[in-house]
Amino acid sequence: MLKRATSRKKRPVDERWTCAELAVFDALSSPLQIQGRLESTPYSPDPIYRSPRSVLRDRKAHCFDGALFAAAALARLGHRPLLVDLRAANDDDHVLAVYQVDGHWGAVAKSNFVGLRFREPIYRTLRELALSYFEVYFNSLGQKTLREYSLPLDLRAFDDIGWRTSDEHLERIATRLDEVRHFPVLTRRMIARLSPADERSVTAGMLGVDEAGLFQPKR
């Protein structure tokens, strides 16, 4: 008697990596190695969103693209694919892929600025993590611009749009990330008395910056 053929369980569309893509992810065995991959990826000034697959194909990424890539890589290490939005005034917002080790938060990130990238998992709360970016979160005029941070957004809620391998609906993630609850890090009085970043810090923070992708702040 012939056995009844059984259908293979289909993998989610966003998990259909090629062998070459899998080789890249398999080589990323820690958050620091994921950060290293982003460091070797040129910054993208393009006004489009790229999925992790497109980041590998095009070999460039801005902060949103880099956060998606890092979240996908972190998920393969057993972490939840979580994004946190850092909201700024007179500057670009920033997106982190966050993860936890022993209950402490760390982050992997792509940025045009030196100081807005990797964080070790040593922060007890997301607020602590967000505040670690405050002094180095400035625009090209040296204005300190970080104002809010968001709750984590779990990208598993978007597995149906294939965010790992398709660019088609990534704006849904960006929109939802903007909608989730944000928490202020400063009061109005604090903002009014902020001092600018010093010249050496600005110079160091903008080392290697891609001018084409630089936010143009209002004076």
Q: Quick check: 2 pLDDT over 70?
A: no
CB atoms within 10 A of CB 102: 6
Q: Which of 104, 107, 109 is nearest to 122 (CA)?
A: 104
Q: What percent of the chain has pLDDT above 70?
A: 93
Q: What length is written for the chain?
A: 219
Q: Which of 179, 207, 6 is nearest to 87 (CA)?
A: 179
Q: pTM, whole model, 2 decimals?
A: 0.92
- Looking at per-residue confidence, does 160 or 12 come out higher? 160
Q: What percent of the chain has pLDDT above 90?
A: 93
Mean pLDDT across the stretch 142-169? 98
Q: Tell me the pLDDT tens digit for each residue of 9-45.
A: 444 444 689 999 999 999 999 999 999 999 999 999 9
The CATH class, in words, for 17-209 is: alpha beta
Q: Rounded mean pLDDT of the chain?
A: 94
Q: Residue ranges of the domains in the chain?
A: 17-209
Cβ contact 81:177 at 8 Å: no
